[in-house]
Chains A and B, each alone.
Chain A
Amino acid sequence: MLKLENITYKVEDKTILDNISLEIDERFVAITGPNGSGKSTLAKIIAGIIPATYGKIYLDGEDITALSITERANKGISFAFQQPVRFKGITVMDLISLASGKKLSVTEACAYLSEVGLCARDYINREVDASLSGGELKRIEIAMINARGTKLSVFDEPEAGIDLWSFNNLIKVFEKMYDKNKGSILIISHQERILNIADKILVLKAGKIDKIGTKDEIMPSLLGVETGCRFVKEG
């Protein structure tokens, strides 16, 4: 599915990502690691938002390194922003329709919103602007990814900036997505409950792959080592 070969990203003299090579064929892969370890940068490189300094990216064997964001999107990569973008005048319906690539009926759009726990009738005609809360925006962001239904969906810290109540709902959304999604999900997260549903966990540290393995291989060491992180410890 997705293959990264020697992905390196440098800003001036600083190496943000150092020679990352990895293959993702599993249905649900989580990337975790301390702040500043390069997780979001890696996700953005996959989506084409940031160009890698060196290295190659392959999607189903095709070299997509030189492709633009749009071209990668059309090849089947979706990307959910850590901080969803707001738009004046563009409605939830507009975005879900754009994501699905066709004009949706209200019923179809509502189905995507219900999936992420939003009462569709209240949201469908709302503008995706400052009047929506962070938690609402996150769910709309996820609904867009569902509407795209691509072979690879990348989520950059879907739990960031979400209150505890919304968080519990969010976990349910991902658990459900795991059951329904036919493609691969790559998710950057610090949350034990999200890591727990991953088929494979990748730990990044200072721009390098520190550990990679199944949940059972990685979780004990993560919980033991990262004692400073209350969230990882307690979920």
Chain B
Amino acid sequence: MDTIQKNLLEQIAGLHEVPQGAYSLRINGALHGKNSSENIEIVKKEDKPGIDIYIKAGTKNESVHIPVLLSSTGLKELVYNDFYVGEDCDVTIIAGCGIHNGGNDDSEHSGVHSFFVSKNAKLKYVEKHYGSGEGKGKRIMNPTTVIELAENAYMEMDTAQIKGVDDTIRNTKATLSDGAVLKVGEKLMTHGEQYAETRFEVDLNGENSGVHVVSRSVAKENSKQLFVSKINGNNACLGHTECDAIIMDNASVSAVPEIMANHTDAALIHEAAIGKIAGEQLIKLMTLGLTEKEAEQQIINGFLV
């Protein structure tokens, strides 16, 4: 790995070197390295780019890193990663994509991640996207996440795109069985001429299934964001979606929450709020000695932590 790649890896995964334990590292469109562990097997797909990850039933407190780095300009790839999480597991999967584009051609990574989470398993999925480079070429990322939660499975998905991604369409689709619970937290910041689109669609098919989607975003300068969240309550279930956006400069944000109840015991809530930083928040921090710019930064940092 060169310095640029190492920096990308640090930004998206907090790693300085190739991770320990089970991992798969993809650099510039090719598998750079992978390692299976006793309980976690990583197999390269034969028919298309990507990997299959098998986590043995009962695996506890283990994690898998699957970072993707792109540092050549003009590279476009579509990768399929399928995760099979066995029954009663309690594991963490850390994914992320960093693009450094120093050239004038667009670089694009599209990843389709499918999660098949078995009965009573607990999964934490962390995904971080980051872009850097001074080239005119765009840094484009289009992640698609497909989630199937079996009975009483629990998944927490933390996704963040804080800097440098010019164009993104983020699609997440989930299907939940009886007693399954999905928690999604999204943090997004766009600036310059960037565009970000997020679409969540969750089918609450199981009795006592539940989903909680919280998206916090900041749109600066001339950037544009679209947030679409759709929850279908097809059984006795709980669904909550919340979009909270700070808008600045000439940005534009659109939030489209949709909830649909197909069962009398489906309890669904949506909330969406868009607004600029409250003047009184800035004033309060200024009375503590911060400049207006520092106050603004502090408020945004807190909001996106």
Q: Which residue of A lies closest to B295 (CB)?
A: A70
Complex formed: what's the CA distance from A87 to B284 in Å? 10
Bound-complex Cα distance A66 to B301 (A): 30
A residues 89-104 touching B (CB-CB < 8 Å): 89-91, 94-95, 98-99, 101
User: Is B287 an interface position by the 8 A CB rule?
Assistant: yes
Q: Which residue of A68, A90, A101, A144 contacts B286 across the interface (Cβ within 8 Å)? A: A68
B290 neighbours in A (Cβ, 8 Å): 70, 98
CB distance from A95 to the nearest CB of B (A): 8
Chain A 96-127 against B: per-residue CB contact (8 Å), 1 yes, 0 no?
A: 00110100000000000000000000000000
* B244 neighbours in A (Cβ, 8 Å): 88
Bound: A75/B206 CA distance, A: 61
**Within B277-296, which residues are at the interface with A (CB < 8 Å)?**
278, 280-281, 283-292
CB neighbours of B298 from chain A (8 A): 90, 94, 98
Q: Residue on A with the closest CB to B304? A: A89
B33 within 8 A of A: no
Cβ contacts under 8 Å, B304 to chain A: 89
Q: How many residues of A contact B (CB 8 A)?
A: 25
**Interface size range of chain B in the complex:** 20 to 34
A79 contacts across to B, CB distance below 8 A: 287
A-B contact count (CB 8 A): 58
The verdict on A49 contacting chain B, using a C-beta distance below 8 Å, is: yes
**Interface positions of B from 252 to 281, Cβ below 8 Å from A:** 278, 280-281
Q: Are A144 and B302 in contact (CB under 8 A)?
A: no
Chain B residues with Cβ below 8 Å from A70 are 286, 289-292
Of the candidates B284, B292, B303, B304, the one having the most CB atoms from chain A within 10 angstroms of its own CB is B284
Contacts of B280 in A (CB 8 A): 81, 85
Q: B298 CB to closest chain A CB, in angstroms?
A: 7
Q: Is the CB of A87 within 8 A of B288?
A: no
A88→B245 CA distance, assembly (Å): 11
A79→B120 CA distance, assembly (Å):
52
A69 touches B303 (CB 8 A): no
In the bound complex, do residue B288 and residue A148 qualify as a contact, i.e. CB atoms below 8 Å apart? Answer: yes
Q: Which of B281, B283, B302, B305 has a CB less than 8 Å from the CB of A69?
A: B283
Of chain B, the residue at the smallest CB distance from A98 is: B288
A45 CB within 8 Å of chain B: no
From 194 to 233 in chain B, residues with beta carbon under 8 angstroms from any chain A beta carbon are: 216
Q: From A73, A84, A85, A87, give the contact of B302 (CB < 8 A).
A: A87
Whether, in the assembled complex, A57 has its beta carbon less than 8 Å from a beta carbon of chain B, the answer is no
Residues from chain A with a CB closer than 8 A to the CB of B284 are 81, 84-85
Q: Are B288 and A73 in contact (CB under 8 A)?
A: yes
CA distance A179 to B79 in the complex (A): 68
Residue of B nearest to A96 (CB): B288
Q: Is the CB of B287 within 8 A of A69?
A: yes
Closest chain-B Cβ to A153's Cβ sits at a distance in Å of 11
Given the known interface contacts A85-B278, A87-B281, the answer about A69 and B286 at a Cβ–Cβ threshold of 8 Å is: yes
**Contact for A49 among B216, B283, B285, B305, CB less than 8 A:** B283
| Chain B CB within 8 A of A189 CB | no
Look across to chain B and name the residue whose beta carbon is closest to the beta carbon of A77: B287
CB distance from B278 to the nearest CB of A (A): 7
Q: A70-B291, A70-B292 are in contact. Are A89 and B286 (CB under 8 A)?
A: no
CA distance A90 to B244 in the complex (A): 15
A38-49 Cβ-contact flags toward B at 8 Å (1 or 0): 000000000101
Asked if A74 lies at the interface with its beta carbon under 8 angstroms from chain B, I say yes
> Smallest Cβ distance from B81 to chain A, in angstroms?
31
Q: Is A8 an interface residue (CB 8 A)?
A: no
Q: Which of B287, B301, B305 contacts A73 (CB under 8 A)? A: B287
Q: A88-B302, A89-B305 are in contact. Are A73 and B281 (CB under 8 A)?
A: no
A94 → chain B closest CB, angstroms: 7
Q: Which residues of B contact A78 (CB under 8 A)?
A: 287
Nearest Cβ on chain B to A79's Cβ, whole angstroms: 5
Is B299 interfacial (CB 8 A cutoff)? yes
A3 to chain B, nearest CB (A): 20
Which residues of chain A are within 8 angstroms of B289 by Cβ–Cβ distance?
70, 73-74, 98, 101, 148
Docked Cα-Cα span, A192 to B280, in Å, equals: 29
- Given A49-B283, A73-B289, 7 extra CB contacts under 8 A: A49-B287, A81-B284, A89-B303, A89-B305, A91-B302, A99-B288, A148-B288
Q: Could you write out 7 A-B pairs with CB less than 8 Å apart? A: A73-B288, A73-B289, A81-B284, A85-B283, A88-B303, A89-B216, A148-B289
Name B residues whose Cβ lies closer than 8 Å to a Cβ of A: 216, 244, 278, 280-281, 283-292, 298-299, 301-305
Report the 7 A-B pairs with minimum CB-CB distance, sorted nearest first: A89-B302, A90-B302, A69-B286, A73-B289, A85-B284, A89-B303, A79-B287
